[in-house]
Chains A and B, each alone.
Chain A
Amino acid sequence: MVKSDIISASSANHLYWLGRYEERVYMTLHLIRKQSDSAYDAIRTKEMMYDEDNPESLISAQNRAMDNAIVLRGTISTETLGYLEMSMVELKKYKQQCMMNVTNLQPITDWALAFFGSAEQRTQNHKALALLLIGRNIENLDMLVRYNYSVDRLHRAWNSLKNVANFKKYSDENIVDRLDLQFNSLETESDDPNLTYRILSLLSVLIQV
């Protein structure tokens, strides 16, 4: 009796969103650090880190990542899930202590990276891994677009996404073509205020799970 590599629709959904939310944890911390360096705002930083009612906060992203991961233990492995468990425990502790020095949250960043590394090593189902990494890359690109990163950076992220294994299998070909057009027009139409909106809208429907 061999374990199947078939994935149910609900598992596919959880894998995709796990990839997205955990990447959101990583990117949110990165952005908070960047912001703290340029113009520190204690109230805004606290909201971005610990406000569980704020869907954009770090802790909200970690909670959502955990909600998706907890049902995927058998797919991603207990060891991989362990990185999120530790992250949750520490984040709740930091919230209680009202830890505002974002440098002290470095372990959360480390565990986010370790989570993806462990997932790549230990996830035996290649389809499952593909969905996780597609989610990760989409979130990465989504956040780079929202926060106005350079055109060069956006191109690299878009190409990374397209090169993820099984990307073609899970993506809508028409949407890929339209996104290609949008990214190609970034240099010439960077002043178009609707360009960001168009890209984000297309990204949200790119993957059919």
Chain B
Amino acid sequence: MKRSIKELANSRDAINKWMERYGVRFGIYKNNVFHEQLFPFDSIPRVISHDDWTYLEKGLIQRVKALNAFLWDIYHEKNIVKDNVVPEEFVYASKGYLPQCEGISPVNKVYAHIAGIDLVEGKDGKWYVLEDNLRIPSGASYPMMARKITRKVSPDVFQSVHIADNRDYGDMLHEMISDMCVDQGIGVVLTPGRYNSAFFEHCYLAEKAGLTLAFPGDLFVEDDKVYYQGLYNEKKRVGAIYRRISDEYLDPMTFEPSSLLGVPNVMEAYRAGNVALINAVGNGAADDKGIYYFVPKMVKYYLDEEPILQNAPTYLPYYEEDYKYMMEHLENLVIKDVSEAGGYGVVFGSSLTKEQLEERRQLIKEDPRRWIAQEVVDFKDLQILDNRKMVWRKADLRVFVVSGKETKVWKSGLTRFSRKPDSMIVNSSQGGGFKDTWVEE
């Protein structure tokens, strides 16, 4: 294994040339100007042992099943609220909770068809869940592409290591979308367009999953059914939309009326059961950082099982005991704004001055529902090649869990690392890079 990894390290330049050739990019806006850049790739993979993966796989399937059950419940009977497991205001005051989704019954009761669960491995060898991404989790295309390229550049490496093949993600998506597809319609990936930061991924996943890429304006609704508009008034029934547009812009007749990105009346088609939306609308109610605190309780409540995966130790100032602890130990905690994403709204207490800590305490006091705090998990560092030198950097892992008729975990993942020493912010939008993730067989 070590020799294989060394060979990949030596192939870095060749691999990066192929990345450039295949246009493996993401976009960011700087001062309102759109820039596209190659996603920095480190050719040394993260390797996960077979035993670790077996544990993670069981835990992830369990967690996603519980989250799907929670989403069904809060938009229907609301038993978890009635039984006082999750406080009412945590659900209904959440930005992600959408009353327009009340009573809608997605096929197979699946809301989060594609879940991106962010994990970290601590230096103590334990794995912790950092975040559940159930709306539009991004990033699977990068390890797909990385593996394709590294196999091309160094085929002999893959003869000598026994790792799971990850080239099946397109097939997994296709199978899941076929399971969900209504009335034998076609499956589409709905993209907001060329200047979305994840546009490369939209196109690549459409290509690999055998789906049609649709832009705003390509879809329309007639008699509560969704169609793809072809040339010369041709139209094709759409059975499933893998939408990469956020909830608020998806349907101007239901949500943000100024949205030009969405499909007018698509929610009516969805409500009538005439189209599947992948992922369902309203999932934000379950991937709110405040709701994250309750996920282990959801596992017990819906599945009657002990949670396999642990959250990072988390405090919710909504509860008096947690509030007191946070006020006393704020400088040692990570403070997160529940409404932010992409690594934004995350502050390390240790980086704040005395005055800033006081300001933060005041904000928490005024609106406890808006904040959570976590103990700083000492991430395991991974080796990165930085200017031909091996250095150690913090890294997390986003694993993709796909739920159709069955829930399956893709044997791969997006390992993101920080390029700055000692920084725990790994997001691409904030300068992070990525690695391939190998799962030993």
Contact = CB atoms under 8 A, between A and B. Distances in A.
Interface of A: 1-4, 6-10, 12, 70-71, 73-75, 77-78, 81-82, 85-86, 89, 209
A70 B231 contact: no
B23 A85 contact: yes
Interface in B236-283: 236, 239-240
Given A8-B215, A8-B218, A9-B231, A85 B186 contact: no
A78 B148 CA distance: 12
B212 interface: yes
A7 B231 contact: yes
B230 A1 contact: no
A6 B21 contact: no
B23 A82 contact: yes
B213 A74 contact: yes
B23 A81 contact: yes
B187 A6 contact: no
A4 B186 contact: yes
Contact of B239 (A1, A71, A82): A1
9 contacts: A1-B181, A3-B211, A4-B212, A6-B186, A8-B231, A73-B200, A74-B203, A74-B206, A82-B21
A77 to B, nearest CB: 7
**Most chain A CB inside 10 Å of its own CB: which residue of B23, B187, B194, B203:** B23
Interface in B181-226: 181, 184, 186-187, 194, 199-200, 203-204, 206-207, 210-215, 217-218
A1 B237 CA distance: 12
Nearest to A131: B231
A77 B21 contact: no
Given A10-B217, A77-B207, A78-B204, 5 more contacts: A1-B240, A6-B186, A71-B203, A81-B23, A209-B231
A89 B236 contact: no
B23 to A, nearest CB: 5
B52 interface: no
Contacts of B203: 70-71, 73-74
Contacts of B215: 8, 10, 71
Contact of B229 (A8, A71, A81): A8
B22 interface: yes
A74 B215 CA distance: 13
Which range holds the interface residue count of chain B?
Answer: 35 or more
Nearest to A78: B22
A82 B194 CA distance: 17
Contacts of A12: 231
A1 B207 contact: no
Given A8-B231, A71-B194, A78-B22, A3 B212 contact: yes
A73 B239 contact: no
A209 B230 CA distance: 11
A6 B23 contact: no
A77 B204 CA distance: 9
A26 B203 CA distance: 26
B201 to A, nearest CB: 11
A8 B230 contact: yes
Nearest to B239: A1
Contacts of A3: 186, 210-212
Contacts of B177: 1
Given A71-B203, A74-B212, A74-B213, A6 B20 contact: no
B311 interface: no
Sorted from nearest, which 9 A-B pairs have the closest CB atoms? A73-B203, A6-B230, A74-B207, A1-B178, A74-B206, A8-B218, A4-B186, A82-B21, A3-B210
B408 interface: no
Contacts of A75: 213
A73 B24 CA distance: 12
B174 interface: yes
B218 A10 contact: yes
B20 A85 contact: yes
Contacts of A7: 230-231
Contacts of A85: 20-23
B234 A6 contact: yes
B22 A82 contact: yes
A74 B186 CA distance: 15
A86 B22 CA distance: 9
Contacts of A74: 203, 206-207, 211-213
A6 B217 contact: no
B169 interface: no
Nearest to A13: B231
B228 interface: yes
B72 to A, nearest CB: 24
Contacts of A81: 22-23
Contacts of A70: 23, 194, 199, 203
A1 B174 contact: yes
